[in-house]
Amino acid sequence: MTLEQIRALRIRSGSNVTSYDESQLIVPTLEDYLGYNERLSENTFIEIKTKSFSTSDYDSLIQLIGGYGFSASARVISFDFNNLVEMKKRMPGLQVQFLTNTLNEQTISQVSSLGSNAGLDIEYKDVLSKIEMVTKAQSQGLLVNLWVVPKSNLDNAKALGVDNLTVNFKRSY
């Protein structure tokens, strides 16, 4: 889709959609997201979903991250390890995290090769019986995050001692 086609779409479901005007229910661009996070000092996670990023795509993303002041705090995540390698080549201090369904020795070794500010973002259900692997990854300087943590397992996930949790429910403050 073109940007114009995406901008014509409207968000129809989600938290509090009825409290927004139709003109506010547009699909945000990456620049919208970064501007929002810049104003609110929010954690900034950027997922590269494609395997077909070009050199100019990586360069543009690096420029956006730096332009919004997130060079030291943004976390770029991807299921495609090469995306993380390319981002680290351009910005060695950037925080990157490898999205994976599996935590094992090979994955820990692979992600460790990215150097400082690297980590794993692992599907929650694979980590439950692998607390020793979480500890090993962290002892090698890797951040360990979990994704798709159900509300019913939040306390168990916190007890694993991971660095971050991505949940699939709205938190109450």
pLDDT per position in the chain (173 positions), as tens?
A: 899 999 899 999 887 889 999 888 999 999 998 988 888 877 889 999 988 899 999 999 999 999 999 998 999 999 999 999 999 999 999 999 999 998 999 999 999 999 999 999 998 888 888 889 999 999 999 999 998 888 888 888 888 888 888 876 665 54
- pLDDT value at residue 169: 65
DSSP state letter for 71: T
Residue 96: strand pairing partners: 76, 118
CATH code, 101-173? 3.40.50.1000
CA 2 to chain centre: 24
- pLDDT value at residue 48: 96
Nearest CA-CA partner of 143 in 80, 94, 83, 87: 94
- pLDDT value at residue 173: 40
User: What does 116-154 look like in DSSP terms, one character per residue?
Assistant: TTEEEEEEHHHHTT-HHHHHHHHHTT-EEEEEEE-GGGH
Identify the three-state secondary structure at position 96.
Answer: strand
Tokens read off for 65: 């991250």
Tokens read off for 25: 């229910």
- pLDDT value at residue 63: 97
Nearest CA-CA partner of 151 in 165, 137, 138, 163: 165
